[in-house]
Amino acid sequence: MAEARIIGLGACLPEQVVTNADLEKRIDTTDAWIRERTGIEQRHIAKDGETTCDLAEGAAREALAAAGVDPSELDLIVVGTTTPDVIFPSTACLLQDRLGAKDCPAFDVNAACTGFIYALSVAEKYLKSGAVKTALVVGAETLSRMLDWNDRGTCVLFGDGAGAVVLRADQRQGIISTHIHANGSYRHLLHNPVGVSAGFKDEPNHGVRVMMAGNEVFRVAVRTLARIVDETLDAAGLDKSAIDWLIPHQANLRIIKATAEHLKMPMERVVVTVNKHGNTSAGSVPLALHHGVRNGQVQEGQLLLLEAFGGGFTWGSALVRL
Ligand code: ACO
């Protein structure tokens, strides 16, 4: 059986930065509250007309260039997103066209903040089965488009961005394992309650907005992420000490610290970008991975534990030898 190695990484963030001080001017919040409760200092927000596919394309082009792969070599494109440009075609199809990658399968995966891990898991299976040789996996979002900018409980948390990886079938170990789960009975705690089939509302933005019971999401997230990291280590027969870097979903610094504590990992071995990016949903894990590699923290050959948790609820992890 082939292995699936990451051979290129890319990232793309909108130029526009919105700081906590900017939000203080618009809603009843403070920089101190946002920093203390979440660790967030700023987030990038797409300008008018800038779409999820624009960000996905920026990240994908950087990942392809880093890998030395021409788009025509791609056998598969999977995009994790919950904020597609349009209902259809999928963002992956739009991206395929922009890149000039011809005829390969291209589809989106909607698993909210776990979207990138889900997409990576799909690509891993195709690569390891021998069905494809080269795959592009992207996590891309413009969550800002579905926020209620008057709801201080949600709008301060999110940002826009995309990260991408190019994967290639190889003899050497890369993606060691992926683990994905969902429990739809928690759907009401974090959701966007309107849509094509359920219908839209006669409200601002047609009723499109993220609704979240933050406290309850927080508690389940901490518990569930502890379980998924244990599941991942058990499956590999590894001790916590074997992990070089934790690359967590960037929703809240307190959730990240709780998972690091569970792993007995010092924060020096955890990649943190939530302060600068906020929660970019499916973009968050690949953006953090890219950040860790580009600034020289995360090195080739090291063992990485990627994890995420999001609406659904969905959750997942990937054990990766870089
Ligand atoms: N500024 C100032 N005060 C605020 C703000 C704000 N932006 N937001 C809420 N408050 C107030 C509340 O109204 C409340 O006031 P009250 O006590 O007078 O009622 C108080 O602050 C405490 O609110 P809590 O919601 O209890 O605050 P908490 O410490 O739980 O932090 C937070 C809220 C940051 C949302 C946290 O619960 C959290 O991070 N939850 C998890 C989010 C997450 O991980 N989501 C998963 C992924 S998202 C996805 O899948 C799309």
CATH no. of 3-171: 3.40.47.10
Residues in the chain: 322
Look up 12 and say whether it is catalytic. no
Alpha helices in 51-134 (DSSP H): 52-67, 91-99, 115-129
Q: Is position 183 annotated as part of the catalytic site? A: no
Tell me which residue has its CA closest to atom 15 in ligand 1.
153
Q: How far apart are the first and last CA of the chain?
A: 19
pLDDT in tens, 36-76: 999 999 999 999 999 999 999 999 999 999 999 999 999 99
Of 113, 155, 277, 291, which is the active-site residue?
113
Name 55's Cβ contacts closer than 8 Å, sequence gap at least 6: 12, 13, 14, 46, 140, 141, 142, 160, 161, 162, 283
Cα-to-centroid distance, 155 and ligand 1 (Å): 10
Q: What percent of the chain has pLDDT over 90?
A: 99
Name the closest-CA residue to atom 8, ligand 1: 153
- Ligand 1 center from residue 20 Cα (angstroms): 15
Geometric angle at alpha carbon 273, from 95 and 37, rounded to 5°: 120
Ligand 1 residue neighbourhood (C-beta within 6 Å): 29, 33-34, 37-38, 112-113, 152-153, 156-157, 190, 214-215, 217-218, 221, 251-252, 255, 279, 281, 309-311
Out of 44, 53, 249, 277, pick the active-site residue: 249
- The residues, ordered by sequence, that sit 6+ positions from 198 with a Cβ below 8 Å of its Cβ are none
Closest of 249, 235, 257, 241 to residue 288, by C-alpha: 249
State the distance from the centre of ligand 1 to the C-alpha of 34, rounded, in angstroms.
Answer: 9
Ranges of CATH 3.40.47.10 domains, the chain:
3-171, 177-321
* 181 in catalytic set: no
Q: What is the pLDDT of residues 215-229, one digit of tens each?
A: 999 999 999 999 999
DSSP-derived letter for residue 199 is: B
Q: What would the pLDDT profile of 88-103 be if each residue is shown by its tens digit?
A: 999 999 999 999 998 9
pTM for this one?
0.97
Distance CA 226, CA 228 (A): 6
pLDDT above 80 (res 1) = no
> What architecture is domain 177-321?
3-Layer(aba) Sandwich (3.40)
Q: Which atom of ligand 1 is nearest to the CA of 311?
A: 50
Percent of the chain at pLDDT above 70? 100
